[in-house]
Amino acid sequence: MRRSGFQQRLHARQGAGSRGIFGKLSIAFVVLAVCTLSFLFLSSLSSGGGESSSSSEIIVDKLWETAGSGGWRPSSAPRSDWPPPPSNSNGYLRVRCNGGLNQQRSAICNAVLAARIMNATLVLPELDANSFWHDDSGFQGIYDVEHFIKTLRYDVRIVEKVPDVRKNGKTKKIKAFQLRPPRDAPISWYTTTALEKMKEHGAIYLTPFSHRLAEEVDNAEYQRLRCRVNYHALRFKPNIMKLSKSIVDKLRSQGHFMSIHLRFEMDMLAFAGCFDIFTPEQQKILKKYRQENFAEKRLVYSERRAIGKCPLTPEEVGLILRAMGFDNSTRIYLAAGELFGGERFMKPFRVLFPRLENHSSVDSSGEFTENTRGLLGSAVDYMVCLLSDIFMPTYDGPSNFANNLLGHRLYYGFRTTLRPDRKGLAPIFIEREKGRVASFDEAVRRVMSKTNFGGPHTRVTPESFYTNSWPECFCQIETQDPAHKCPPNDIMDILDSRLESEAGDDLDSSALANSTITVSER
């Protein structure tokens, strides 16, 4: 398994000395020679062994390719007994997914899993229109509903609304009992507290429903269900897919392109407590936003910066890319909201990389005129970043957009990602600000060489399952471990057969019940 993709991509040259000479040298001189060779080797990482441009081209050419798979391939199909949803459920499950598009996306995955756990019929999830985007598009306005229901037919029963019930000759609505799930609730909460209320009332309404089911569950099939929802069932509506494809086609018509999630926005800067680089007036705005939206906490900028807790500035992003060998011809798609601080922060980045685009500048249809920051804009940004040759998140801490994309690109074929180690890079940038710029590129490259570039890697806390679903949602054709072996090629036929069998049993039961009623009525 590939631990350091960048190291495998570097093609450095190392000078070689005459072996015979070493045998005649003193111990001190040997040490000196070894140190000299080590220095030359490190220099070759930065300068390409005296051929700077060609070395950079080799590195960049490798980075434009997908990361090594290590023999793994994405697979979220069941690998053990997975019966279809029973015809008689325990009731209806309604959820309200709050937050932005990608926080809602994770919540939808959790809602499907919760419905499976409780043997519930899932009502099409509600997307909160007020808490983030102020966009009332709803699930039907963003996702392909028919595809969603059809894709998950082997897993859960889904309806668009809670149906009315007829009792004693009258039609009544089922009133869902409202519950507030604990944050990161264990499965046991759903099989006890939630299920009891569902059986009592016929339906429950879980709100809010963001991060309300534990990510780490000790059941690989449950995790694979999450992947089926996230990477197969949740497909944007055809108009969004068409618009995204047209933007990607335009960007790729001139060669490779990179996407960057430039998370240099007011909410993230306020959350991080990184104020000092802004004007006094801007600092007031950030502090006010923090007081209104986040818990009170003592935050010192110099301390936060030193441990990599501040989002990278646009200029720092540009310097990282330049150090890695990307030149000013690189085409970059920026996925970002309104950058805080204005042109003062963007100008240095634009000088380094002038070929910058966003969804509004590339799209000629005018669809973004009134919805650049709503769910439509976020959905298109998501698809363009997913399909780009390289994706770089600049702040992947609490960013649902970046985290979900990292996981989706991993599943989508180990597509290359550049994940800056902010903690490792912080002292390098601090030294540069003090005027110490010698070996800056080499130092940046050394830190970046230790990061993962999109290949399979072990998930380590606090990395999210939605950021890295390896190994649960991946398999190997050639392996001795049955847990990692790919399912049979006819797995869909098997699931179809079981679903048809279940449906046949339902019809038989229904026919028997109708026959019984007819006899009794006579």
Is 80 exceeded by the pLDDT of residue 147? yes
**Both structure tokens of 350:** 């634009």
Burial class (CB in 10 A: 0-12, 13-18, 19+), 275: buried
Paired sense of beta strands 474-476 and 72-74, if any = antiparallel
Higher-pLDDT residue of 210, 190: 190
CA distances from 296 to 183, 210, 307 (A): 20, 22, 20
Angle at 42 between CA 39 and CA 47, to 5 degrees: 115
Contacts with 80 (C-beta within 8 Å, 6 or more apart), sequence order: 221
Name the helix (H) or strand (E) containing 108.
Answer: helix 101-118
Is the per-residue pLDDT at 337 higher than 80?
no
Predicted local confidence at residue 318, as pLDDT: 97
pLDDT on residue 499: 78
Does residue 238 register a pLDDT over 90? yes
Least confident of 12-16, 231-235, 236-240, 248-252: 12-16
pLDDT-based confidence at residue 342 (cuts at 50, 70, 90): confident
> What confidence tens digit (pLDDT) does each residue in 166-177 have?
777 788 889 999
User: Collapsing DSSP states into helix, strand and coil, what is residue 156?
Assistant: coil
Q: Is the pLDDT of residue 366 over 60?
A: yes
pLDDT at 46 over 60: no
Enter the tokens of residue 437. 């710029």
| Whole-number pLDDT of residue 50 | 34
Helix (H, G, I), strand (E, B) or coil at 453: coil
Top-confidence range, 28-37, 51-60, 63-72: 63-72
pLDDT at 95: 97
- The alpha carbon dihedral of 50, 56, 57, 63 has a sign of positive
pLDDT of 507 reads: 43
Spatial contact of 239 and 141, defined as CB atoms under 8 Å apart: no
Closest to 255 (Cα-Cα) out of 91, 147, 379, 388: 388
**Mean pLDDT value across residues 364-388:** 77
**Which of 41-55, 208-222, 342-356, 412-426 has the lowest average pLDDT?**
41-55
Mean pLDDT across the stretch 119-137?
78
Query: What sign does the dihedral 470-472-473-479 (CA atoms) show?
Result: positive
Count other C-beta atoms under 10 Å from residue 163's C-beta: 13
Q: Pick the range with the lowest mean pLDDT from 129-138, 320-329, 351-360.
A: 129-138
The encoded tokens of residue 263 equal 């998370």
The pLDDT assigned to 411 comes to: 96
Average pLDDT of the residues of the chain: 83
Q: Residue 456's closest CA among 474, 434, 438, 433?
A: 474
- Give the C-alpha distances (Å, rounded to integers) separating 1 from 5, 359, 368: 10, 36, 42
Contact 275, 287 (CB under 8 A): yes
Tell me which residue of 42, 13, 126, 2 sits closest to 446, measured CA to CA.
42
Greater model confidence, 207 or 506: 207
Encode 12-78 in three state secondary structure.
CCCCCCCHHHHCCCCHHHHHHHHHHHHHHHHHHHHHCCCCHHHHHHHHHHHHCCCCCCCCEEECCCC
Per-residue pLDDT at 307 exceeds 60: yes
In this predicted structure, the answer to whether residue 304 has a pLDDT above a threshold of 50 is: yes
β-bridge mates for residue 261, sequence order: 335, 393
Residue 370, helix vs strand vs coil: coil
**pLDDT tens digits along 77-121:** 999 999 999 989 999 999 999 888 889 999 999 999 999 999 999
Per-residue pLDDT, 506: 52
Cα 495 to Cα 149, 461, 498, distances in angstroms: 15, 34, 5
Q: How many Å apart are CA 180 and CA 208, to the nearest integer?
A: 6
Compute the distance between CA of residue 147 and CA of residue 431 in angstroms, rounded to an integer: 53
State which amino acid sits at residue 279: T
DSSP 505: H
Give CA–CA dist 481/275, Å, rounded.
51
Helices (H) and strands (E) in the chain, counts: 22, 14
| Contact predicate 349/314, CB 8 Å | yes
Which residues sit opposite 390 in a β-bridge? 258
Walk across the sheet containing 356-357 and list its strands: 356-357, 332-335, 258-261, 390-393
Q: What is the DSSP letter of 232?
A: I
Give the pLDDT mean for 332-352: 91
Reading the block at residue 398, the tokens are: 């609490």
**Span of 15-29, 196-210, 421-435, 502-516 with lowest mean pLDDT:** 15-29
For residue range 177-192, what is the model confidence (pLDDT) as tens digits?
999 999 999 999 999 9
Predicted confidence (pLDDT) at residue 59 exceeds the cutoff of 90: no
Question: What pLDDT shows up at residue 278?
Answer: 95
Would you say residue 32 has pLDDT above 90? no
Does the pTM exceed 0.85?
no
Contact by Cβ (8 Å): 165, 60: no
Residues near 501 by Cβ (< 8 Å), separated by ≥ 6?
Answer: none
Average pLDDT over residues 263-287: 93
Residue 195's CB: how many other CB atoms inside 10 A?
18
Instruction: Encode 240-274 in three state secondary structure.
Output: HHHHHHHHHHHHHCCCCCEEEECCCEHHHHHHHCC
